[in-house]
Amino acid sequence: MTYSLIGITAFVYLLQWIPGLGVTNALFFSPVFMTEVFPEPWRALTSVFLHSTSWFFHILLNMYTLWIFGRLLEPMLGRGRFLALYLISGLAGSVGVVVFAAPSSQVLGASGAIFGLMGAFVVIQRRLGGNMTQLYILLAINLAIGFIPGANISWQAHLGGLIGGALVGLILLETRPRSRRGLQIGLLIALPIALFVIGVLVASWKIGAL
């Protein structure tokens, strides 16, 4: 699944370069797309597969980080749970933009989903008793980069993805026994629904649509 996500993202990135195709404009995310003004909520997920065409290192860094954490988490969680973690984290990143950024903000990139992988890994490693020092340092550095003036990086998406990934990690840990599999599935369905509702309500409130 890790390599499939990398492949899909790379393919979409190539499509973004085709003149006149308008892939970036069709798939980027803004909080206004969570409202009835421009009701296109699917962009909260499609934007995860887009990257900046003006800065090649944007996709390179994200895919490298996905490769690192994917190799760690996917064998541990399984393909289905890993995919759920990635997509829910990406959605949470978009909701983070809705909650913490201006309604006119425009974002794209897999950073929210990537931070979700980090958040889940932190939760899982803490439970397993692994050494957390290096992971905390890496996480702190990546979070701090989002606050650099002029860097044009959405710390809001980072924070949202981190929280979403940590919640998914917690769900997966607390429902590990086979007897709790039904609860696990239910919670993994309920969490993105709750995120979507929060996104719609906050975005609508911010633009005065309620």
pTM over cut 0.85: yes
Percent of the chain with pLDDT strictly greater than 90: 62
- DSSP-assigned beta bridge partners for residue 107: 29
- CA separation for the pair 166, 160 (Å, rounded): 10
Percent of the chain with pLDDT strictly greater than 70: 88
Residue 19 is classified by DSSP as: T
Whether pLDDT at 62 is above 70:
yes
**Please, what is the Cα angle at 98 between 96 and 102, to 5 degrees?**
115
Please choose, from the candidates 118, 106, 16, 101, the residue with its C-alpha nearest in 3D space to the C-alpha of residue 62: 118
User: In 10 A of CB 168, how many CB atoms?
Assistant: 28
- Told to judge if 111 belongs to the known catalytic residues of this protein, a careful annotator would answer yes
- CA 32 to chain centroid: 18
Stretch 66-72: mean pLDDT, rounded?
91
**pLDDT score, position 163:** 95
**pLDDT score, position 149:** 57
**pLDDT score, position 18:** 93
Q: Which amino acid is at 209?
A: A
> For the segment 135-145, what is each residue's pLDDT rounded down to a tens digit?
667 667 666 66
**Selected catalytic residue, list 30, 111, 154, 204:** 111
Whether pLDDT at 120 is above 70:
yes
**Selected catalytic residue, list 47, 58, 154, 158:** 158
**pLDDT score, position 131:** 64
**pLDDT score, position 135:** 67
Whether pLDDT at 109 is above 70:
yes
